[in-house]
Structure 1
């Protein structure tokens, strides 16, 4: 009996160790949770919400989560009451002593950028060792801002006209029309605000980007977003482009559906932002779920971590169509039956 218990404990510990990506501990930073604006969670409820957010795939493959409530501001209570205590704990535990990888989704991209810009100074001033973050995997990143947030804040403050289409789009995204006192992190998600928050971090952490162009809202929100979008975030943000524009891809030579052709994509990116995988069929929420939605292509098939380690995806090019109407497409191997998150996790291990 004692031997069985020992083996069980050893198996559990082994499972925890295998949660690492490329041998590095994983730190999760979730995104905006619209229901928080009304429920205003605190304490254990914030932790519960964070666990539920990642339940589909990443929760059991991570070592640490930084959970935060969406009714607060990034540089306010999110940083002071939720991020800072966790950074101290991670430093004292040596979580990132040999390197760690952050995995973010949506607004977690913006929160992670704020962490990258400030964590070393904060921890040094507290007499603690800074975290050694070797890379960040950013799914559906909202670090470049969300046009829907601009519209929601304008409507909440009475600064904009609201027609039926806009009301539907905001209601589908938020589940409500927010009031002026019920905006929280939406203030930080406005495009200009987001792009000014820790825009040029000193720490050279590679931000590897994973992008979708589907929608959970039957296209109702897409009319308010420039270029390709995932139903919430436009491609200028999720790709990590240095400027706001109507982009149809993260690449100028590969379309979201993998077609090899000249396409409208960014010519420059925010510091250390590198687009990797793209798919026309993945919506904003699909990116961190464990379900294959569509074939996936690569803007770049290889990305490097801060210490020189690499993330590599296998791709192949194939001809589709007939005669002069044919085109070539780039596809990530096994993407037709593997979710975006699983592809990233498997490639990193």
Structure 2
């Protein structure tokens, strides 16, 4: 009897672990890790770094991770040595047989786009079943490129207009001044290069975007980023805009702070990219953290997955200010006390 009960409980816990988001397994794809340029991790250390990257919130809510080292290039060793073996394993295990959701952060957005564009053909050619990816949740997505990466490559190569302000911004972001021998994935993050990498995937997987406009660098890096930014990524990238330009929101009618007003936002987006949550107080790394940093608003409050399921956020509008100086703001319910990642997780379940 005791053995039967233990087996039942084990089965229940197993089902709970696999039903991470709307009943779909979650696959994590982390972002750029600057220290990798110096440490050049391999093997188990790459996996350990990946686990640490997501430790605050998503690690224990996920079923799989695709870990990769930042000293390599996306279409080279990142794919051949780290992404491809993991895709084969997930296909054989049936991880995404009934659908799965990829959760990416920063450069993980670009890596995920490359996966989405190629995984079906790769797996079919290997005699394996393609992954059924029903949606991606992209936090602070760098798939549209990072202007700081352009600056970092210039500093490393000694080219372009380089001054003390540029070097300071780059060193704050990377933690060190880069050299030409250790720029790795920074090459792929240059704005023009990133936007050309798998920019028009055949797959119609919805890319749901979650963006911030805070900064961990007291605005030092933001001086080199167009429009609103999160200290690392400009809004044209985090929102998923079709072109790299100066935007102050992911929406043309809602500001990052939730104010309902006419604002400079994208008029077109990259294929199947849909901005969802925004917040003025969340910096680049805050978006995947466990702490609430500021109120959160919506560029769109709902979106469908590839198979018709959907995610929806509850919002309310409120008047702030006095008399003719008042304005209306849109706020996601409970966002004052709930982290952005938690809001997404709760809405998806």
Whole-angstrom distance in 2 between the partners of 1:182 and 1:43: 18
Q: Does 1:68 align with 2:68?
A: yes
Q: 1:120 corresponds to which residue?
A: 120
Task: Give the deviation of 1:14 after TM superposition.
Answer: 4.7
Match of 1:155, SS? Answer: helix
Paired residues for 1:34-45 under 5 Å: 34-45=34-45
Task: Give the deviation of 1:5 after TM superposition.
Answer: 5.7
Match of 2:329, SS? Answer: strand
Whole-angstrom distance in 2 between the partners of 1:199 and 1:164: 34
Q: 2:239 corresponds to which residue?
A: 239
Task: Give the deviation of 1:7 after TM superposition.
Answer: 6.9
In angstroms, what is the RMSD of aligned CA positions? 1.3
Paired residues for 1:279-318 under 5 Å: 279-318=279-318
Deviation digits for residues 55-103 of structure 1, max 9, x if unmatched?
A: 0000000000000000000000000000000000010011111100000
Q: Does 1:16 align with 2:17?
A: yes
Whole-angstrom distance in 1 between the partners of 2:313 and 2:24: 18
Contact 2:100 2:134 in 1 (8 A): yes
Task: Give the deviation of 1:165 after TM superposition.
Answer: 1.6
Q: 1:271 corresponds to which residue?
A: 271
Contact 2:155 2:167 in 1 (8 A): no
Q: 1:172 corresponds to which residue?
A: 172
Match of 1:281, SS? Answer: coil
Task: Give the deviation of 1:162 after TM superposition.
Answer: 2.7
Paired residues for 1:1-349 under 5 Å: 9-10=10-11, 12-18=13-19, 20-349=20-349
Task: Give the deviation of 1:174 after TM superposition.
Answer: 0.2
Task: Give the deviation of 1:160 after TM superposition.
Answer: 2.5
Structure 1 residues 23 and 174, CA gap change in structure 2 (3 angstroms):
same
Query: How many corresponding residue pairs?
Result: 348
Whole-angstrom distance in 2 between the partners of 1:24 and 1:206: 15
Structure 1 residues 305 and 14, CA gap change in structure 2 (3 angstroms):
closer
Question: Unpaired segments of 5 or more residues in structure 2?
Answer: none
Task: Give the deviation of 1:161 after TM superposition.
Answer: 3.6
Q: Which stretch shifts more, 152-161 or 321-330?
A: 152-161
* Divergent runs of 4+, >3 A: 1-12
Whole-angstrom distance in 1 between the partners of 2:39 and 2:341: 29
Contact 2:155 2:162 in 1 (8 A): yes
Whole-angstrom distance in 2 between the partners of 1:281 and 1:156: 31
Task: Give the deviation of 1:17 after TM superposition.
Answer: 3.1
Deviation digits for residues 311-332 of structure 1, max 9, x if unmatched?
A: 0000011000000000000000
What's the TM-score once normalised by structure 1's chain length?
0.97
Contact 2:144 2:237 in 1 (8 A): yes
Task: Give the deviation of 1:166 after TM superposition.
Answer: 1.4
Whole-angstrom distance in 2 between the partners of 1:109 and 1:33: 14
Whole-angstrom distance in 2 between the partners of 1:179 and 1:5: 56
Contact 2:227 2:234 in 1 (8 A): yes
